[in-house]
Amino acid sequence: MISVQQRNSVFVQGEPTDGLFFVQKGKVRLSVLSEAGKEATLGILSEGDFFGEGGLSGQLTRMSSATAVTDCVLLHVEKKAMMRTLSLEPKLSAMFVKYLLKRNIRYQDDLVDQLFNSSEKRLARVLLLMAQFEKKGVSEMSVPRLSQETMAEMVGTTRSRVSFFMNRFRKLGFINYGAGNNLHVRSSLLNVVLDDDEGTSSTSQVMNTSGRASKSLEPPAKRGDPPDKERARRPPLPGA
């Protein structure tokens, strides 16, 4: 078991693999760096998540970097110990396979999200996944406050668009900037993700200074990129 302080590195892309990690407490950021020096955030991991298991499938070096978003307590398991335990403990093996399958489904959902949803909905989904509304009756959860650059990497958009939508979510009461480094996310943000109106989200109506609802202007898209309303729509579900 190891403790990693906030902003410290767990491992760096390109290092030799030496086992996997299990998050017992805190949040960890996974990121990749291109040869040109551009960094992209793959995701934020929380309690109960495994990461760095690539060595179990034969990877010799780390394909990503892991950094503590908050103070973390991690369980480090060497490759040989993990392989031996999986062969001796069927329950652990089944649990680990189930976790990997669930994460694979998550990655598929991420791909569909990138292909068919607007950047506003993608941002809302990222915030909801970070909040992890697992307890019944809980309407608000606190998450670490990430930089807008990091959130833009996770969503696949620009920092200016993240800023625009975060301000919109705050005005509509979906999020709240609390004291310290935490962001409070309310479960009502789910309405943004579930809204299926063509090119119009539930947040597109805001109150102007005269008290009347008016259409909010979309932030300018990056030159050369199609606006969100021109993105492909999610296909209907079978039987719908």
Q: Is the pLDDT of residue 144 over 90?
A: no
Confidence of residue 79 (pLDDT cuts 50, 70, 90): very high
**29-62 residues labelled b (16+ CB within 10 A) or e (exposed):** bbbeeeeeeeeebbbbbbeebbbbbebbeeeeeb
Beta carbons of 31 and 42 less than 8 angstroms apart: yes
> Mind giving me the DSSP string for the chain?
-EEE-TT-EEE-TTSBP--EEEEEES-EEEEEE-TTS-EEEEEEE-TT-EE-GGGGGT--B-SSEEEESS-EEEEEE-HHHHHHHHHH-HHHHHHHHHHHHHHHHHHHHHHHHHHHS-HHHHHHHHHHHHH---STT--EEEEE---HHHHHHHHTS-HHHHHHHHHHHHHTTSEEE-STTEEEEEGGGHHHHH---TT--TTSEEE-TTS-EEEPPPPPPPTTSPPGGGSPPPPPPTT-
Average pLDDT over residues 157-182: 89
pLDDT band at 17 (very low <50, low <70, confident <90, very high): very high
pLDDT of residue 121: 92
pLDDT given at position 115: 85
pLDDT at 101 exceeding the cut of 60: yes
Question: What percent of the chain has pLDDT above 90?
Answer: 45
Whether the pLDDT of residue 217 is over 60: the answer is no
Domains in the chain with CATH codes: 2-89 (2.60.120.10), 118-221 (1.10.10.10)
